[in-house]
Amino acid sequence: MEPKFITRSSFPVIGFELKTTLKDNQNTKQIPEFWGKIMAEKLIDKIPNRKDDKESLGVCTDFNMEDQSFVYMIASEVTSTDNIPDGMVLRTIPETDYAVFTVKGEIPKSIQDAFAWILKEWLPNSEYDHSDSADIELYDNRCCAGDASEMDIYIPVRKKAK
């Protein structure tokens, strides 16, 4: 799985947040449950001003290495930040260079396996460091096909210092 590299301009997202942790792999249970709740209640459809109603994002941000916590956001890119409903959060993703990996297979296992490989194998052996911006998961019309599902993981990167 080789990435493509892009620079993405800053963009606003609106969505729902969950604070979770890597400890005891709690995130691998809590995030799928969070998605289940959001999907069951059709909350993504209530996000105002969605740029593309066929795309949803998983955004990992606010990493705390001491307690291994981070914020996971289920969101959509938006065209306006006006009139944010109660219970939703606005974030602006800064302009960032990304390594973009296309992941294939049953969700969420394929995503969890890909993140583990990217962070433990690819990143340490590449010429890049994580740039401490948000990790992004892009879900679109490719993501609901069982074993044939596809989605993209955006890892924020910067060249390693020599």
Quick one: average pLDDT of 126-137?
A: 96
Q: Is the pLDDT score of 162 beyond 80?
A: no
Tell me the three state secondary structure of residue 143.
coil
Q: Which residues contact 112 (CB under 8 A, 6 or more apart)?
A: 28
Q: What is the CATH number of the domain that holds 137?
A: 3.20.80.10
pLDDT tens track for 69-112: 999 999 999 999 999 999 999 999 999 999 999 999 999 999 99
Whole-model pTM: value is 0.94
Q: Are 13 and 138 in contact (CB under 8 A)?
A: no
Q: Is the dihedral of CA 110, 10, 74, 50 positive or negative?
A: negative
> How many structural domains compose the chain?
1
Q: Is the pLDDT score of 44 beyond 90?
A: yes
Quick one: average pLDDT of 130-150?
A: 92
Residue 149 is part of which domain span? Answer: 4-159
